[in-house]
């Protein structure tokens, strides 16, 4: 697809303007609402699974791809299997007790990266990253706001 992965665009730009980040996030959330209304949870949202392409008027449009870990869900029960990518995985997924809202967490991480150019949780290994995710403490350095 013309435009490629959002990941590659992040690598190229480093950070996006608030306007562009908001537009991409709005489209991403709209796609996730569509899935959730149909009882489908993606479970591996990340910039590599978002394709971008130019649209008329200079706007950027997105497509969500790779539903390989997607699953149907029921509002009456929790999901238990741990799946996803460490940088984007919700703490509830790591605790093996989650619902479709894990996708919303991943959208928030993507938004953070769009605005700052870096992930909110880091580490030398996947285990380090997942430990940081479980703590859910991070700092958004460009605005000097700490969230705990």
Q: What's the pLDDT score for residue 56?
A: 85
Q: In the beta sheet, which residues pair with residue 94?
A: none
Q: What is the CATH number of the domain that holds 17?
A: 1.10.510.10
Q: What's the pLDDT score for residue 138?
A: 62
The active-site residue, picked from 8, 44, 103, 126, is: 44
Active site residue 8: no
Q: What's the pLDDT score for residue 2?
A: 75
Q: What's the pLDDT score for residue 139?
A: 63
Does residue 79 belong to any structural domain of this protein? yes
Locate the DSSP E strands across the chain: 40-41, 50-54, 60-64, 71-72, 138-140, 145-147
Does residue 20 belong to any structural domain of this protein? yes
Does residue 136 belong to any structural domain of this protein? no
Does residue 143 belong to any structural domain of this protein? no
Does residue 55 belong to any structural domain of this protein? yes
Does residue 138 belong to any structural domain of this protein? no
Record the pTM.
0.89
Number of domains the chain is built from: 1
Q: Which domain holds residue 101?
A: 6-118
Give the SS3 label for residue 27.
Answer: helix
Does residue 132 belong to any structural domain of this protein? no
Q: Residue 128: what are its φ and ψ, rounded to 5°?
A: -60, -45
Instruction: Report the C-alpha gap between 31 and 49 in whole angstroms.
Output: 12
Does residue 125 belong to any structural domain of this protein? no
The tens place of each residue's pLDDT in the chain, 148 residues long, gives 678 999 999 999 988 999 999 999 999 999 999 999 999 999 999 999 999 998 888 888 999 999 999 999 999 999 999 999 999 999 999 999 999 999 999 999 999 999 999 999 989 999 999 999 998 766 655 554 444 4
């Amino acid at each position: 697809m013309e435009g490629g992965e959002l990941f590659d665009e992040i690598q190229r730009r480093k950070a996006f303007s608030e306007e562009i980040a908001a537009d991409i996030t709005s489209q991403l959330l709209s796609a996730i609402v569509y899935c959730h209304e149909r009882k489908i949870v993606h479970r591996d949202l990340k910039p590599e699974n978002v394709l971008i392409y130019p649209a008329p008027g200079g706007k950027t449009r997105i497509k969500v791809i790779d539903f390989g870990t997607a699953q149907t869900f029921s509002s009456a029960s929790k999901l238990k299997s741990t799946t996803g990518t460490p940088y984007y995985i919700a703490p509830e997924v790591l605790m093996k007790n989650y619902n479709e809202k894990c996708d919303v967490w991943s959208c928030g991480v993507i938004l953070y990266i769009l605005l700052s150019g870096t992930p909110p949780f880091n580490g030398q290994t996947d285990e380090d990253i997942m430990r940081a995710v479980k703590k859910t403490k991070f700092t958004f350095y460009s605005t000097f706001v700490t969230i705990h």
